[in-house]
Amino acid sequence: MNARQLAGDAAVQELFDHVLRFSRAFYDAFEVSYNKVRFWRFLFLVLEKEREDESGLIKDDFSPEEIRRILGPTWTAPDIRQWRRDLVKQFSDSGGLFLDETGKEDAKQEREDLPHLRRGRPPQTKLFKLSAHFNLAATTYAKSVIIFVMRFPISHIDVDHILKEKGPDVFRQIMVVLETHYYKAWKTLLNNLASVSAAPRAAAKEFNEHAPYWAITVIAWKQYRVDPSSAFDEDDFFTEVQHVLRSVAKEELKRCLSFMTKRKVFVIDESSGGLRYALADACLPHLERYATELQNAREHLNTLLTEQLR
């Protein structure tokens, strides 16, 4: 059975609804309006550093390799201290900062720091902990994952009772599953889409840096499963992506659509007079693979939350 014969499969449509609900729930809890991909990468790094420290503190001694994970492979190290400050400052939403500074400690002097230090001034590493504002957003997100994303048959009152004491801890466990399974599948999908495009290297860099590419693709695929002959126009995409990502500039969406068309990931539906878009056939096997990986990821998350809700 090929991709077109599978169109209309309700189970697969629901699976893509599931992953789109994930995004909606996250941006309802964490009101991040820009640099969404960078925010996710830094969040994973912060949680990793918290796990590595016995006292659960987060040090801002991010290495060049760690910063490159956030900013992309073309970033270079001369401004490392400035970027350390900027990443911490940007780790926030409209409600406040997600990291509270708790102190400082002497740091090992790094080669990248030398041009930026005053003579005789020892380098310092700042110490942070996740803020109360962060923990509130984390608990809100954990509740949304349980009720809205996974749709567990449990009351809001019972979830609130469970999360009252361990909401941030449940959030952290959810994030491990997200990073290990969902985020890995996300990266594989975008790289596979880039591989079938014109200029794969440029496409991969672009796709991995801007959140709308993923949302546009999943929404187009979801619509394709309903009706393979249908196509989307810009207004359709904007309405759907805005719902999923919560805040997207229309100019950015137009640029993403234009880039995906130029790279042959989307094709223009000629019958619409060039006003509507459809997925290129070469993308469909990669989306089928993504659906399989999502199903596996959802099973891991279901197992985790079933245990937490006992």
Residue 274: what pLDDT?
63
Residue 298, H or E segment:
helix 284-308
For 90-144, what is each residue's pLDDT tens digit?
999 988 999 999 999 887 655 445 455 555 566 789 999 999 999 999 999 999 9
CA-CA distance, 61 to 80, in Å (whole number)?
9
Beta strands in 36-171 (DSSP E): 58-59, 92-93, 96-97, 99-106, 124-130
Half-sphere exposure in the Cβ direction for 143 (13 Å, CA): 21
Averaged pLDDT of the chain: 88
For 205-248, what is each residue's pLDDT tens digit?
999 999 999 999 999 998 888 888 888 888 888 999 999 998 88
- Global pTM value: 0.88
Q: What percentage of the chain exceeds 70 in pLDDT?
A: 91
CA-CA distance, 177 to 181, in Å (whole number)?
6
Residue 107: what pLDDT?
74
Residue scoring higher pLDDT (145 or 123)? 145
> How confident is the model over 54-83, as a mean pLDDT?
88
Q: How many helices (H) and strands (E) does the chain have?
A: 12, 8
Residue 249: what pLDDT?
87
For 247-291, what is each residue's pLDDT tens digit?
888 899 999 999 999 999 999 887 766 678 989 999 999 999 999
Residue 186: what pLDDT?
96
Q: Which residue(s) pair with 100 in the sheet?
A: 129
Q: What is the DSSP string of 193-257?
A: HHHTSSSHHHHHHHHTT-HHHHHHHHHHHHHHHH-TT--EEHHHHHHHHHHHHS---HHHHHHHH
Asked if residue 79 has pLDDT above 90, the reply is no
CB neighbourhood size of 173 (10 A): 16
> How confident is the model over 56-82, as a mean pLDDT?
87
Q: What percentage of the chain exceeds 90 in pLDDT?
A: 67
> How confident is the model over 149-162, as a mean pLDDT?
95
Return the ∠ at Cα 106 (arms to 65 and 45), rounded to 5°. Answer: 30
For 2-19, what is each residue's pLDDT tens digit?
444 444 467 888 889 999
